[in-house]
Structure 1
C-alpha cells in the first residue's frame, strides 16, 4: 500500500456548532475519544494535546500542532506517531451542513515510514469507534 490514509464520513443529527463543540471540548472528547481530553488554545501553529487513561491504566498522550482552524467548518492538526517520532499523522475534520444534518468527514493520513501499515490498521478501527461514540454524544444518546 503506497498511501496510508483513512477516510471516514458520518451524518449527525445536530447543528455544526454542536458537533464542533464535541470535537473541541475536553469534557465531550473524554466521552468518546478513548477517555482522552483534548487541550489547545485553538490557534494555527499552537499545540494540540489528547491526554487520558485507557481502561484507567494505560496513559495516553498524543501531541501535535494545529495546522488549520475554521470554527464550525474545519480542523486540521498533526499528531506525532509513537512508533516513529520523525513521522506525523495529519488529521482533517471537515463539517458541512445539509438537510438538517451535519456531515463530518475525517481524513487521517498516518504518514509513511516505520509502522505505517500498522498505524493505518489501528486508525481504521479507532475512527469507527470514535465516530460511533461521537454520534451518541452529539445526538444525546450518551
Structure 2
C-alpha cells in the first residue's frame, strides 16, 4: 500500500531569502509561535520549540540547500527510532516572489479524519509563513 502524501504549494510575495529566513532566523520564526532548533547541517537534529520552551517535534536534517531545499525527518518524541514522516520544503524563485512547496510523506497508518486535519494544518502553517515573510 502506498504511504499517504500531503503536497502543498503557496505563492509568497517575498524573495526566497526572506522566506528562507522565516525558517532559519529565530527572531523571525518566533513570530510563528516558536522556533526551529538546529545547527542547520545535514545529519543534525531538527525540532520545533514553542514559546513555552516545550519541544513539539524532533527529527534530523536529511538534505539542505540554503535558500532552496530543506528535507527532514519527523520522529516520534517518545520513541526516537520511530519515523513518523519525511518533510520536504522547496523554495522556488518565481520572479520577485517565491513558490514554497511542502511535501509530507507519512510513514504510519492514518485515518481519513486525521489525514484531513493534517491537510488543514498544512494550509494554516503555509498561510502563516506567507504572512510573516510578506511583512519582512
TM over 0.5: yes
Give distance in 1, aligned partners of 2:97 and 2:26: 23
Q: For residue 48 of structure 1, what is the aligned residue in structure 2?
A: 46
C-alpha RMSD of matched pairs (Å):
2.4
- Measured after TM superposition, the shift of residue 74 of structure 1 is 0.2
Residue correspondence of structure 1 range 19-38 to structure 2 within 5 A: 19-32=19-32, 35-38=33-36
SS at match of 2:10: strand
Number of equivalenced pairs = 134
Q: For residue 10 of structure 1, what is the aligned residue in structure 2?
A: 10
Give distance in 2, aligned partners of 1:64 and 1:39: 10
Q: For residue 135 of structure 1, what is the aligned residue in structure 2?
A: 130
2:91 is aligned with 1:95: yes
String of CA shifts for 1:64-107, please: whole Å, max 9, x gaps: 00000000100000111358762321110001112221111000
Q: For residue 73 of structure 1, what is the aligned residue in structure 2?
A: 68
Residue correspondence of structure 1 range 111-126 to structure 2 within 5 A: 111-113=107-109, 116-117=110-111, 119-126=114-121
Q: Is the 8 A contact 1:77 1:92 kept in 2?
A: yes
What is the TM-score normalised by the length of structure 1? Answer: 0.82
Name stretches of at least 5 consecutive residues in structure 2 with no aligned partner: none
Name stretches of at least 5 consecutive residues in structure 1 with no aligned partner: none
Q: For residue 108 of structure 1, what is the aligned residue in structure 2?
A: 104
Give distance in 2, aligned partners of 1:65 and 1:22: 19
Give distance in 2, aligned partners of 1:22 and 1:106: 14
